[in-house]
Structures are given as structure tokens and as C-alpha cells.
Chains A and B, each alone.
Chain A
Amino acid sequence: MLLTTLMLIPLVGSIVVFLLPAAKVTLAKQIALGFALATLVGSVLMVLGLDNSSGGLQHVESYDWIPAFGISWTLGVNGISAALIVMAAILVPVVIVAGWWDAENSGRGTVKGFFALILALEVFIIGVFTANDLFLFYVFFEAMLFPIYFLIGRFGGLQRAYAAMKFLLYSLVGGLFMLAALIGLYVVSSRELGQGTFDYVTLTSLNIDPATQKMLFLGFFFAFAVKAPMVPFHTWLPDATAEATPGTSTLLVGVLDKVGTFGMLHFLLPIFPEASKFYAPVIIVLAVISIFYGALLAIGQTDVMRLVAFTSISHFGFIVLGIFVMTSQGLSGSSFYMVNHGFSTGALFLVMGYLVSRRGSKRIADFGGVQKVAPILTGVFLLSGLSGLALPGMSSFISEFLVLAGTYAVNPTAAIIATLGIVMAAVYILWLYQRMMTGVPSKEVEETVTEISRRELVAIAPVLAIIIALGFVPQVALNVINPAVDQVQTYVGVTDPESAVVIEGSGS
């Protein structure tokens, strides 16, 4: 019941906030924050209750839903999903505080609607990471789209309708292919077992013949690749983040897109091991292209929000790379990367949001010399940026290193090319810093850009603290993640090559 309860907290919060009178603006925000914090406490308790010696599903609960189709309400977490849930539960209150005035500033929609949607989104986020019935997973996967769709379409910028629609259609199309594969998987299971099922654990034990695996794999992979997003299915992301409020972008890129990579790790590898190995070389090439292409386009952006979006595409390339090399370093690096990326991209989006809301423009050229007028804000910007370029000492460094080390063990070429991505990361972040923060402030910047406010600092400080803390003691997270990574390797039936670089604490 723990996981269902964890979903009920934000659900109740969402309904309560939605039913408030429209005039009670402050109350709506306070209640939303209260429920978000309660969810955070709940999810921390959930992680503390995990048994780190087991990589299997824990806190499992299962009830029949539609027995005719073998569909059940089955929830459970392993170390990876638990870490992602905590990451999401931390980001939601952060986004609420950081976006305290976003609804008013958008000039459309109601304030209570904005916060009710964020809480509704949190319900589905927890659902999608805990669902261990594939049908249930699909339902949450689709349901998640709607709060985001309304958050972009209602509260976004000028091109919001276009961006929201593009986001929705890309995701729906991906989802439909997954649906076709899901039904195929169901039929396969009913042929093998006599009674079809969507239960995750049962499905991982099926012996699907390789040809069928390859077809079904593609259906799921397409949906996850759109969601992640990987080049060439990525074009919706920059549009969506450019139009969404910074808080929405944080949740969209920081949390929701992880569903794609989480799906690859949690569903594709264990259920379709042969197909995963078969397609791995192609996917590794796509991942390397994503790393490069994302970084290259990030360098060329003139809009700060789009720039952050492209850096994420590059980072998602690293995550996918680590998953499909299938070494323990790669897998635990990718899992840890998912958590770190949520925080570091979140921090970047939020600090960009602070700057954009002051200056009233998203164009990089409209900034310059901010460090003279707002030194603390600049410091926050620098820390977030350095986390984005994976500087040693930041948590993102550990995960990027693990991914590269894990890749090098089996595919040195890919690892070497991917390493160049780090150099490019330094270019886009430092050049961005130079253009926006250094130099002589223009008159507009002097007039509009003010120092970071207390609320803004309170919102972003915990994120930065976590980034640095995990950079020094990554074990806290890795100890939770690693048993689950071992389990994935067992499912796929791979072991690390002899020559693997052994890194203390990075799995077995």
C-alpha cells in the first residue's frame, strides 16, 4: 500500500487545490507546496525502507484490474526507480517555489489550475516509475502527457499552442507504436503461458523467439526514443522547453524524459535481451550522434531555453550509451546520470528562468555583464553550468565518467568519440557564461536584472547542495542503484568483460 499511498498524496493535493475558490491564490500555492513536501517525506521513507541487498522489486503490491486481459494494478520499485522518484519528489516542491508567480505572469489560466496540474503530474510520475504491469505503465505513460500538455498550452509563451500540440502528437505517435508492441507482447505471453499477462516479472521470464523480439523491441524503442529524446526524434523538445515556463521545462526534461531512458533500462533490456543485444550497435551509434549533435546545436543556439534543451539531448545520448553498452559501470553510470541530470538541468532551467523573467527576453544577445549587477545570481548560474558540463566535484562528473569507463571496456571507439562531447559541453557552457555574465552591462541589463531574491535562492539552493553532495559522496545513491543494475545484467545475461576498468563501488 505504500506506493499507492505515495500516489494518493499528490492526487488529493491536486484535487484540493483545484476545488479551492479561484481568488484564494496564496492558499492554493501553500497547499500545493505542503502536499509536495509531504510526498517528498513519503518518498524518502520509501527509499529508507528499501533492502539494498536485493535488486528485485520491493514494496510490491498487486490487485486485479481487468482480469479478462490479465491486467493488474501492480506497483513495485527497485533501486533505480526509487532514486528517480526521490529526484522527482525533490524537484516538484523546488519547481513550485521557483514558479511561485509563473501562473500570474503568464496572464492566462488560473493559479490554482497551474499548481493542481503540477501535483497531478507528480501522481503520474510516481505511477510511471512504479508500475510493474506493462499495461498500467502504458496508461501512466499516456496520462502523463495531459498535465504537461496543459501546462505548456495554458501557461506557455507565444508559440505555446504549436509547441504543446507538437509535443502531444510526437508523444502520442510514439505511444501508439508502443501500444501495438504491447499488444503483441500480450499475445506472445498468452501463447506461451495459455493466459496473457502484463506482469513485468512474468514477462521477463518469457522465452520470446528472437525474430518476434526484434519487432516488439522496435515498437517500445520508438516510444522511448521519442520520449528520451534521441536524435532524430528530438525536434519537439526545444520547441516545448522554449515555450513552457521554466518550472514546466524542469519537470519535462528533468523527470518526464527519464521515462524514456528508464523504460529502456527497466523494460527493453530485461524483456527483450536478445533484441537488445542485436540492436545495441545501432543504438550506440545513435547515442553518439545525439551526444555530438545535441552539443553542436547547443553551441549554435541564440535562445537560452533552447540551448539548455539541446544540452539535454546531448546528455541523454550519454545515458542511452551507458545503457546499451550493458556493462555494470555503464548501467549504474546511466542510472546515476538520470538522477544527476534531473538536478543539473533543473538548476539550469530555473536559473535561466530567473534571468529571463527579469530581462523579459530569452535571447542570449540581450544579456551581458550580469555579474556586475547580480553577483550571487551569477554564482548560482556558474554552479549550475559547471554541473551541466560535468566538472569533477559535481555529481554529474561521476556518472559521466562511469558511463565512459563502462563504454570503453566494450567499445573504445564510441567512448573516445563520446569524450569529445565533454569538450563541447565546456564550450557551450563557458561561452554562454562569457556572453551572458561577463563584459559591460548594457543599460537594459542594469535597469532590469536585479539580484536573486530570497524565494528564488531557497528554491534552487537544495538542488545545488545535492549536486555537490552527490559529487563527493556518490555512494549514497550508487548503493541504492547498484543492486538493481546487477539484476538488469542478470536478466540480459551479460557480464562485464575481463578488461573492465574496476571502479570502487560501481557495481559488481
Chain B
Amino acid sequence: MNVSVEYQALAPIIILLAAGVLSVLVEAFIPRTLRRPIQLMLVLASIVLAFAYVVINATAQLAGDPVTNGGQVKGLRQLAAGGAVAIDGPGMVIQGIILLVSFVSALLLAERQIDPQGDAFASRSSTLPGSEDERQFTAQGWLQTEIWPLYLFCVGGMLLFPVSNDFLTMFVALEVFSLPLYLMASMARRRRLLSHEAALKYFILGAFSSAFFLFGAALIYAATSSISFSTVAVAMENSSQDGLIIPGIGMIAVGLLFKVGAVPFHQWVPDVYQGSPTPLTAFMSAATKVAAFGALLRVFYVAFGGMRWDWRPMMWVIAILSMVIGSLLAVTQTDMKRMLAFSSVAHTGFILLGVISTSAAGLSSTLFYLLAYGFTSVGVFAIVGLVRDASGEATHLSQWAGLGKKSPWMASIFALFLLALAGIPLTSGFTGKFSVFTAAIDGGATPLVIVAVVASAIAAFFYARVIVLMFFTEPPVDGPSVVVPSAFTTVAIGTSAAFTLLLGIAPQPVLDLVINAGLFIR
């Protein structure tokens, strides 16, 4: 078979992966002192270039009049690489969000001013924690740049994941972005054992869920003789093999729901969020969720769209469990990162409301929510990384007491992010919640929205508790302080805060964007 490759449509993915290869070569051949600036340039430039290509593709003038090209006036909508990849409106929006979030996260990863020993990553991740080697390397001030090639591969895989149009491409993309994440999660400079444990847990459970995904794909293949989403969708309509299809859908759902961190596949979330280096947690909490939801949307709208009456009850249960358990467990946490991890589980439940709607409104509201949540999440973890005492980050809630008095600005921005997560009006979180709730009620899921409202009320409690802690309690005597970061982190936090506010006060342009993105192509 003669497979053509549509280079322009695939350009964002190719750019990132090529930059990743280049970055490996930089690690191998460029002297240590020069690596950091070169790597950083490479990463930021490739993300910007890829984003430019996404914009170009999304606004490309199409040939022919709107009637012949399917009513589309602007923007690519095409299958690429022999039908393995589908470049369409929602796919490009997801890619755009991933790139924006990755750019901001890259700034956080590049930060070298907040830890007196260097950056957030181990001076040599090959040394044993607590060993003499480790002590020496740390004392000599070694700094590694090996996260950058990993980061580029990871982002490249994430770009492919939501636009994959068959199960095998999707599986490959899943592994391409997951493996670097497992590695990066283990590289924290402080509390290395915790970081190793997190990475191992993430790896084992992740591998397990990937296997589920693959097995599910095999079952679907057995029932429909196809791995391509559009063919699967058609074949399912006429298939009587429910004994294969239903378990297949379930297993693929397990693989994808694991990545988005939905209950009951959420056990890794708190441990990994807590153990990973905080800049990476910021990246993971935002970008992984966006990419995985992109893939989830495509699989369940395109491949399993016709089966929605079969999978909806399952998704209802998972959405309810995620919202309720996520919010309830977040209330009991005493560690900031774990609390935010459970809050992220709850948010997964809210986003699932949009997925369940299986309508145009459901799709566009989910996209909006992902953008809103992505930036807020990056911002919130960026600030968590700044609150430090002598032993590193101070993540215990009690250590945050009175922070509003010590650094009112940072505390106020943090409060803004928390309010956005709680879904208070005039923040991006509210607009996001409002749009998914509307889509859900319109799709007949009123009981789910009522559960979501109750969960939001529970969630509001623990977010508000942190704000009270910061502003209304006296700071402890030897409490941590907010470190003054370099321009990198400042820009990252500023951007996140700006998006959080802007999407709350004037969301119309972005709403237009996600509504005009249209539907998935088949």
C-alpha cells in the first residue's frame, strides 16, 4: 500500500519528535556548560514552532467553496498518514492547549533560582539516594539537562495521542509520552526515595493499564476486524459480537481513564503528584490530563459513538465516583500536593460530565474546561514549588499558615487559582463548570449535575480552608517563606493567572474558538 504522509498536517508532532532526537544528540556531543542554553532554546523554539503550525493548520484557507469542502471555510480537516492520524478542529484545539501548557511548564522546569542547590532535579539520578556519591555530586553542584530530551518526546507523544485515529497509533502515542513521564517522575532532587516510589508505582500501574488498553483493542479487533476508529464505529453498528465488544470498550476505557485519573483508577494520582518534582507535577496535572481527555473524547465520540447507550451508565458511575471521592478525600488531606491531587481527581469527574453528553456542546465545553483547568493547575503547582524552608518545599498544610501576611501578592494569586478550582464566578473555573453543566443538563444528565453541585460544595470547603489558613492565621515562628523566583517562573505564574482571569471575565473569544472547532472527523 502506498502511504502518503501529509507533512503540514503532521508538522507539530514531527517538529517535537525531531527536536527530541536533536536534543539527545545535544546531550551526547555538546560540552556540559553549553548544554543548558542550547537545550532550553531547542525546547522553547520547537514548542513555539509547533504551535505556529497548529495555528497555521487551524486557519488555513481551504481550496474550493464551502459546499464542496463540507461547509468548512477555514482550517484543516483531514486524515493523515494513511488514516492513522485525524487532524480536525477539536484535535487541533487539544494540540494547541497541550503546547501552551507545555511552554509554560517548560519555563517552570528551567527554573534554577528557587532551590539553593540548583534545580528541581537530582544532580545525578543514577546515584543511590543517601549515598556518598550523591552527596559529592550535590556538593559539587552538578546539574543535569537530561530531562529536556525526555520532555520533548513526552510532548511529542501527547500531541499524537489525541489525534490518533486507530488503536495502535494511539497505543504507541500513549507509550511515547508515558515512558518519559515515568522517568522524569523519579528525578526529584529532594526526598528522592519518595520520588522513586512514585515513579515505580506510576510505571507499574501505568504499564498495567496500557496492557488493558491493548487487550481491549485486541478484543475490538476480534469483533470488528479493524483497528481504525471509523471502521470500528461502522462495524459495531452491525455486529452481534457484544461478548467481545462490551469487554473491549470496558478495557480501553480502563486504559484511558487511568491516564485521566478517574476513580477507581486514581490510586496513583496522589502518590505521583506528591513524589514527583513539583514543576513536573504541574506539567503532568495539566498536559497529561488534556492529552488523555483528548484521546478519550475521540475514542468515545468517534469509535464508540454508536454504542453510547452501552457505555454511558459506566461513565455515569465513574463520573459520580470521581467527583464525590475526589472531593471527600481532598478534605482529609494534610499535604498540599496530595490535596491538589485529589482535587484533580474531582475535576476529572467534572470534565467527564462533558464527555458523557456526547453532543457538540459536550465536546466544546470539555475543550474549554481543559484549557481553563490546564492553566490553573500549572499555576497552582508553580506556586506550591515556591513555598520552601531549609529542607525544601514546605507542603504540609500547617506550614502555609499566615503566608498571606508574609507575601501578600503570591498568596493572593494562589487564592485566585484556588477560587478558580472551586469554580467561583469571574474565574475560568466557573465558566468551565458552567459550560459542562449546561451541556450535561441538555444531554439529560441532570442527576449528575446535582451530584456535581454537591461535590463542588464539598470542594469549596477545602479550597476555602487553605485561603483562611493563608490570610487569617498567624504565621508559625519558623515557618517557610515564599522564595523569589527568576523570570521563568514569574512569567509562568503570570501567564496562568492572566488566563485564569481572562477566561472568567471575557471568555467569548475562546468559546467561539471551541464552538467553531466543530466535531471530530471520521
Chain A interfacial positions (CB closer than 8 Å to B): 65-69, 138-139, 142-143, 153-154, 160-161, 164-165, 168-169, 172-173, 176-177, 179-180, 183-184, 186-187, 190, 196
- Chain B positions within 8 Å of A169 at CB level: 457, 460-461, 464
Interface centre among A65, A168, A173, A183 (most CB of B within 10 A): A183
- Chain B positions within 8 Å of A184 at CB level: 441, 446, 449
- Chain B positions within 8 Å of A67 at CB level: 508
Question: B472–A183 contact, CB under 8 A?
Answer: no
Interface flag for B425 (CB, 8 Å): yes
- Chain B positions within 8 Å of A186 at CB level: 438
- Chain B positions within 8 Å of A165 at CB level: 464-465, 468
- Roughly how many angstroms separate A142 CA and B471 CA in the complex, as a whole number? 20
The residues in B between 429 and 468 inclusive whose CB is less than 8 angstroms from any CB of A are: 431, 434-435, 437-438, 441-442, 446, 449-450, 453-454, 456-457, 460-461, 464-465, 468
- Chain B positions within 8 Å of A161 at CB level: 468, 472-473
Question: A153–B472 contact, CB under 8 A?
Answer: yes
Question: A183–B511 contact, CB under 8 A?
Answer: no
Interface centre among A65, A169, A179, A196 (most CB of B within 10 A): A179
| SS of A interface (majority) | helix
Chain B interfacial positions (CB closer than 8 Å to A): 424-426, 431, 434-435, 437-438, 441-442, 446, 449-450, 453-454, 456-457, 460-461, 464-465, 468, 471-473, 506-508, 511-512, 515
- Roughly how many angstroms separate A153 CA and B472 CA in the complex, as a whole number? 7
Question: B437–A183 contact, CB under 8 A?
Answer: yes
| Nearest A-chain residue to B435, judged by Cβ | A69
| Nearest A-chain residue to B437, judged by Cβ | A183
- Roughly how many angstroms separate A128 CA and B472 CA in the complex, as a whole number? 27
Known: A68-B515, A177-B453. 17 other contacts (CB 8 A): A65-B508, A66-B508, A68-B507, A68-B508, A68-B512, A142-B424, A153-B468, A161-B468, A164-B468, A169-B461, A172-B460, A173-B457, A173-B460, A176-B453, A176-B456, A183-B437, A183-B441
Question: B464–A180 contact, CB under 8 A?
Answer: no
- Roughly how many angstroms separate A172 CA and B463 CA in the complex, as a whole number? 12
A88 to chain B, nearest CB (A): 21
| Nearest B-chain residue to A186, judged by Cβ | B438
Question: B460–A180 contact, CB under 8 A?
Answer: no
- Chain A positions within 8 Å of B454 at CB level: 176
A392 to chain B, nearest CB (A): 44
Asked whether A69 and B434 contact (CB < 8 A) given A139-B426, A180-B449, A183-B441, the answer is yes
| Nearest A-chain residue to B515, judged by Cβ | A68
Question: A176–B457 contact, CB under 8 A?
Answer: yes
Interface centre among A68, A138, A172, A190 (most CB of B within 10 A): A68
| 23 chain-A/chain-B pairs, Cβ below 8 angstroms | A66-B507, A67-B508, A68-B508, A68-B515, A69-B434, A69-B511, A138-B425, A142-B425, A153-B468, A160-B472, A161-B472, A161-B473, A165-B464, A168-B464, A172-B460, A172-B464, A176-B456, A176-B460, A177-B453, A179-B434, A183-B441, A184-B449, A187-B438
- Roughly how many angstroms separate A180 CA and B434 CA in the complex, as a whole number? 9
| Nearest B-chain residue to A173, judged by Cβ | B457
The listed residue (B434, B442, B460, B515) touching A190 by CB distance below 8 A is B442
| Nearest A-chain residue to B426, judged by Cβ | A139
Question: B468–A183 contact, CB under 8 A?
Answer: no
- Roughly how many angstroms separate A279 CA and B396 CA in the complex, as a whole number? 48
B295 to chain A, nearest CB (A): 26
- Chain A positions within 8 Å of B468 at CB level: 153, 161, 164-165
- Chain B positions within 8 Å of A69 at CB level: 434-435, 438, 511
Question: A154–B442 contact, CB under 8 A?
Answer: no
B75 to chain A, nearest CB (A): 19
The listed residue (B424, B442, B453, B460) touching A187 by CB distance below 8 A is B442
- Chain A positions within 8 Å of B506 at CB level: 66
- Chain A positions within 8 Å of B441 at CB level: 183-184, 187
| Nearest A-chain residue to B438, judged by Cβ | A183
| Nearest B-chain residue to A145, judged by Cβ | B424
- Chain A positions within 8 Å of B437 at CB level: 179-180, 183
Q: Considering the complex of A and B, which 9 residue pairs feature the smallest CB-CB distances, nearest first?
A: A68-B511, A139-B425, A173-B457, A180-B453, A176-B453, A187-B441, A183-B437, A172-B460, A187-B442
- Chain B positions within 8 Å of A190 at CB level: 442
A172 to chain B, nearest CB (A): 5
- Roughly how many angstroms separate A183 CA and B446 CA in the complex, as a whole number? 10
- Roughly how many angstroms separate A183 CA and B508 CA in the complex, as a whole number? 18
Asked whether A180 and B450 contact (CB < 8 A) given A69-B434, A165-B464, the answer is yes
The listed residue (A65, A142, A183) touching B434 by CB distance below 8 A is A183
- Roughly how many angstroms separate A26 CA and B410 CA in the complex, as a whole number? 30
- Chain B positions within 8 Å of A176 at CB level: 453-454, 456-457, 460
Interface centre among A65, A138, A172 (most CB of B within 10 A): A172
- Chain A positions within 8 Å of B442 at CB level: 187, 190
- Roughly how many angstroms separate A161 CA and B464 CA in the complex, as a whole number? 11
| Nearest A-chain residue to B419, judged by Cβ | A146
- Roughly how many angstroms separate A165 CA and B454 CA in the complex, as a whole number? 17
- Roughly how many angstroms separate A196 CA and B439 CA in the complex, as a whole number? 12
B366 to chain A, nearest CB (A): 15
Question: A154–B453 contact, CB under 8 A?
Answer: no
- Chain A positions within 8 Å of B450 at CB level: 180
- Roughly how many angstroms separate A165 CA and B441 CA in the complex, as a whole number? 31
- Chain A positions within 8 Å of B473 at CB level: 161
The listed residue (A68, A172, A196) touching B457 by CB distance below 8 A is A172
- Roughly how many angstroms separate A135 CA and B506 CA in the complex, as a whole number? 14
- Chain A positions within 8 Å of B438 at CB level: 69, 183, 186-187, 196
Question: B426–A143 contact, CB under 8 A?
Answer: yes
A72 to chain B, nearest CB (A): 12
- Chain B positions within 8 Å of A187 at CB level: 438, 441-442
B269 to chain A, nearest CB (A): 25
